[in-house]
Amino acid sequence: MAETWIVLGASSSMARALVRRLAARGDGLILAGRDLGDLERDAADARVRGAAFAETIRFDARDLACVASILARAGACEGTVSAAVFVGSMPPQAEIDADPGLIEGVVTDSFTGPARVLQGLAPIIEARGAGTVIGVGSVAGDRGRIGNYVYGAAKAAFATYLSGLRNRLGRAGGHVLTVKPGFTDTAMTWGIEGMFLVASPDKVATDILSALEKQRNVIYTPFFWMGIMGIIRLIPERVFKKLSV
């Protein structure tokens, strides 16, 4: 029986790249996001590529009713149910500085909203003794930077949550992969100045599937971001606070 994947934030370019690969291997797909018309086109493409089935469901991280609908659909699926999370929002830090009320939305989109879904999905994975969670975070969560520290804080919280979930699900046959992309060519990063070593969504998707085959726990993609962030984490705070990175 094919594995069923619930993809949160399925309209993101990274999610689409992964969905194409999951469809080609015959998995079932439930594409979740806010623009159902857009997702219907992706679902049709997935069916052509070989998906066991592909359907859509509304997901807005700020709407609790969406969480209940997704969990109900997950419980009705037969066999192994897995999830991939590509949800997040990153308004410019200057806008957040001007309007701190934006913080709640960033945290909900990037952490608490998807965490509610995963928290409800965990008992299903435990009961069936199998299932995978892919949680896409960011290298921004490794250290607070002046340019995006609210977004970084939300992704850091999500990474810590995924670590605990990995500990829980690993005892019942499940697995959790934390993905930390560097700069990637997505709608979220378009127009941002100072980006370098920008990866394609296809590269990220390839790295994710490779990591799943190897049962990796945490990956940086592309791989060299592990070294870059290792150096950044080693910079003493008295020096780092003066840097514009």
pTM here?
0.92
Q: How confident is the model at residue 146 (pLDDT cuts 50, 70, 90)?
A: very high
Element (H, E) at 168: helix 149-170
Looking at residues 215-242, what average pLDDT do you find? 94
Residue 124 has pLDDT above 80, yes or no: yes
Superfamily the domain 4-240 falls into:
NAD(P)-binding Rossmann-like Domain (3.40.50.720)
* pLDDT score at 182: 86
- Burial label, 103 (beta-carbon count in 10 A; 0-12, 13-18, 19+): middle
Distance CA 99, CA 103 (A): 8
Q: Beta strands of the chain (E only): which ranges? A: 4-8, 28-33, 53-58, 81-85, 131-136, 174-181, 218-221
Residue 190 has pLDDT above 90, yes or no: no
Task: List pLDDT tens digits, range 62-79.
Answer: 999 999 999 999 999 999
Q: Across all residues in the chain, what is the average pLDDT?
A: 93
